[in-house]
Structure 1
Amino acid sequence: MQAIRKRYFPALAEYIRGGKEASLHHANELGKQFYEFNQEEILAVHEECVQELAASVDMKEVPKIYHRSYIFLTELMITSRDQQPDSAEKSVRIRELMPRSDRSFERVKNKYENVLQHMDSGIALFDSDGILSFINVQMAKLLDIPRKTLVGCNIREILLHRDLKISTKRTILRLYREMFLKRSRYYEFQHKDGKHLLATVTYGDDLEGDFLFSVKDVSEYKQIEQSALQNDKLAMLGKIAAAIAHEIRNPLTSIRGFIQLLRPYLLDVGKEEYARIILTEIDRANDIIYEFLNSSKPSAPMKQATSIDHLIREVVMLTESESLLRNCEISVESCQAEAKVSIDIKQVKQVILNLLKNSLDAVEEVQNERRGRIDILLSNDGQYVQIIIKDNGKGMDKSTMSRLFDPFFTTKQEGTGLGLSVSYRIIRNHGGTIRVDSQVGSGTEFSIYLPLAV
């Protein structure tokens, strides 16, 4: 039966896919070649091939596929009959066997169609000759090509498909190299829309030489993994903070006290400026330690219901004068005047101020190219308030974005690298999330999600 299927399936798929009557010559040729085979074997192969073809199309197209396959099979059987003696008796036998294929097909179709077609993973099945015998809805969506035009094609024909996009073609070539040539069972890659996808391939004795290829969206798992990694970093930071904070602050307090005692003597010799600088630097060191401690374990939020619109406008007023000095316009667009969130006002205000300050720094670096602009947008989906802070500054590359919330990571000369890690922890402690999207030269967009007050 394998010898029959190897030649039968591609010919049948081409006829059904192409719809050209001239392609029936394949049925004639196969009929001449198959006259020595038992008709029941040919019908069994036909039944199997039709099931695979029908599983890759919408239900409304199944009758059309079955009708065309019946024409192909009839043509083949007539040619095969003409090559044999006692053809009249065999013709009667063929007419008796064909309806059985129809009934069997419907049973199998109803049993497996919905399960395979509507899985959240993309699935494609290649036979041992590299011919695509099955593809489900999700996989066709990833390729952005109708399923009925793919079944019966090999890898080369898929790559040459006129509707296949160049980016998708490159991805297929990369997967083919990694998973079929290098025999890797798993391969993770990023789709053009930013989703993280995990491809797996299964083959061996269990599949009788076939290759089962599946692609699953693992973006949520990647986010969980990143969150876990971030929490591990912050936990380690907390251990370091607890160990060294007091050891540093105690001598700084003593040094500050002695400098104040020496201040009158420095004034006598005209060196009071030295005392001022020393005290300023000691205060700065204390501020860094304070931020360090907050980044490891911000105090538990003292929540109260408040208008998010009012809070945002209050923060904008605080930064208005600085934004004017930097020739930057800040605009607020909100249709959520009544939306309330249960938050620690002081902590969330600290987060918004920190993000606005970062945006002002970013737009200041491109002042020669364009005027700075920061847009703040408020919306909600019934569960969360979304705060978007978008600037037209210099933007960031992917490498910088991936480390943005890491403690001590900074791109500023005088930055501590603690502001965003503190902001991250504060928003998480409020049951929300904070995300960033940016492109070099096109600005940065921070999105904060906070649960609405019940």
Structure 2
Amino acid sequence: MKPFFFEEKPYGIFRAGLSLDGYNAVMRGSRRQTIVVSGVLFLIGIVVFTLLALNQTFEVVNKSYTEIRSFTTAVLESMETGVVAVDSQGRVTVLNQAAHQILKVNSSVLLRPYDEVFPDDPLRLKELLSGKETGGEFETEILGSTVSVSISPLYDSEEKVSGGTALLRDVTAIRKMEQEMKQSERLSLLGDTAASVAHEVRNPLNAISMAAQRLEEEYAVKEGMESAKNFSRILRQEVKRLDGIVSQFLSLARPSELNLQKSDLNRLVTETVALAEGEAGPLSVEINALLGDIPELMLDPDELKKAVINILRNGMEAAGKGGSVSLSTRVDGDMVALRIEDTGKGMSKEKMRKVFQPYFTTKERGTGLGLSIAQRVVADHGGRIDVDSTPGKGTVFTIWLNVPPFEGSV
């Protein structure tokens, strides 16, 4: 508002002004927008902060999960016990390295149906999932090995079966050692009575043999006594056979003192084959020898020859008419292998387990001591005998002997 004049005299007052209603409205709208934008920005900040926190938490959890999974995998792979797990749908979810070796499968079986990979259900996991099995331990034969299996079900939060696990241990070597210990105990008991029994048996055998020889000499000068002389001859032969059984019994029961010396195994095999060829002829059995380049060994030639001839005779009798027995030698690492293979009928797994047990035989007139003696002789040399046989395809005996570090050898 401002006064104005006319010819130097006041005339009136002039009032001029601008309305602020629009301005104030704009300002009020601007404040509201500012508040809304601030709120939105605040909410966006909270969301961004939450996302960052969640992302960081996820990374921490993921890292922890990865570390736990890596640790669990490392533990499973380093275990000597095989681990197999299946889920509720019967898919293989876990199979560690030890299980690969025992079951002879690879990682490609993971997530495949268990009954497709193992149709015979050797681990009984299919029965476990179906409720026929409730868990427990048992031993079974898997691919020629004795395996101890422990199975147990897995439960979910509702106590329903959600899968199953199997723990596997190859106990073949343990069971073999137990058998050897039992056999050693049996031989120890035999050794306590062997000498006295042999003495008591051989004395009357010698008397019978001398009486039979005397009778044969007396009948020789008389006519018409051919049948009596034949009986006397048979009597002497059976006495000789019984004396051989007593000798085998003593050889098995008494610990032998080896006369070890540098020996050529190939030469020993050649001499043994020459001895056996006289018996092979009437049996129509062919003997073949393929001898490799092997070093000298510390052996007792007489004792080891006894072991080889026992296995060779066993092979000739198993091969039968028209069959054959093959012998071969080779170096395998720090050991020499003597392989004796026949073309006989072979043996079942059950017979293979018993083949070295004293008095076990499948022959009508066998004593069951020959292979036991062979095993004892080879064991005295610090070696071992392996046997592998398939019904209808023959049997293979392999004698393993250590190569000694002779003086001056590198």
TM-score, normalised with respect to structure 2? 0.74
- Counterpart selection for 1:285 from 230, 239, 242: 242
SS in 2 for 1:302: coil
What is the distance in 1 between the residues matched to 2:368 and 2:332? 32
Q: Cα–Cα, structure 1 residues 132 and 87, in superposed 2: closer, same or farther, change >3 Å?
A: farther
The question of 1:101 aligning with 2:61 is answered: yes
Q: Cα–Cα, structure 1 residues 138 and 421, in superposed 2: closer, same or farther, change >3 Å?
A: closer
Other-structure match for 2:389: 438
What is the distance in 1 between the residues matched to 2:233 and 2:300? 35
Other-structure match for 1:144: 105
After superposing the two structures, state which structure 1 stretch, 391-400 or 288-297, moved more. 391-400
Contact 2:125 2:151 in 1 (8 A): no
SS in 2 for 1:385: strand
The question of 1:246 aligning with 2:203 is answered: no
Q: Aligned runs of 1:22-101 on 2, under 5 Å? A: 91-101=51-61
Unaligned regions of 5+ residues in structure 2, if any? 1-45, 406-410
Q: Cα–Cα, structure 1 residues 107 and 280, in superposed 2: closer, same or farther, change >3 Å?
A: closer
Tell me which protein shows more strand as a share of its residues: 2
Other-structure match for 1:354: 310
**Matched AA of 2:267:** H
Q: Cα–Cα, structure 1 residues 178 and 408, in superposed 2: closer, same or farther, change >3 Å?
A: farther
Q: Cα–Cα, structure 1 residues 359 and 312, in superposed 2: closer, same or farther, change >3 Å?
A: same
Measured after TM superposition, the shift of residue 185 of structure 1 is 2.3
**Matched AA of 1:451:** N
Provide the aligned C-alpha RMSD in A: 3.3
The question of 1:224 aligning with 2:177 is answered: yes
Other-structure match for 1:301: 258
What is the distance in 2 between the residues matched to 1:412 and 1:191? 30
Q: Aligned runs of 1:49-448 on 2, under 5 Å? A: 91-125=51-85, 134-140=94-100, 142=103, 144-146=105-107, 149-150=110-111, 157-160=113-116, 164=117, 168-172=118-122, 174-177=124-127, 181-192=132-143, 194-201=144-151, 212-267=165-220, 270=225, 271-337=228-294, 339-365=295-321, 367=322, 372-448=323-399
Contact 1:137 1:147 in 2 (8 A): no
What is the distance in 1 between the residues matched to 2:289 and 2:169? 39
> How many pairs are equivalent?
350
Contact 1:140 1:147 in 2 (8 A): no
Measured after TM superposition, the shift of residue 252 of structure 1 is 2.2
What is the distance in 2 between the residues matched to 1:436 and 1:301? 24
After superposing the two structures, state which structure 1 stretch, 106-115 or 219-228, moved more. 106-115
SS in 2 for 1:232: helix
Tell me which protein shows more helix as a share of its residues: 1
TM-score, normalised with respect to structure 1? 0.68
For the pair shown, the structure with the greater C-alpha radius of gyration is 2
Q: Cα–Cα, structure 1 residues 315 and 97, in superposed 2: closer, same or farther, change >3 Å?
A: same
Report sequence identity in percent: 29
Unaligned regions of 5+ residues in structure 1, if any? 1-85
Contact 2:125 2:165 in 1 (8 A): no
**Matched AA of 1:331:** N
What is the distance in 2 between the residues matched to 1:236 and 1:274? 37
Q: Cα–Cα, structure 1 residues 342 and 173, in superposed 2: closer, same or farther, change >3 Å?
A: closer
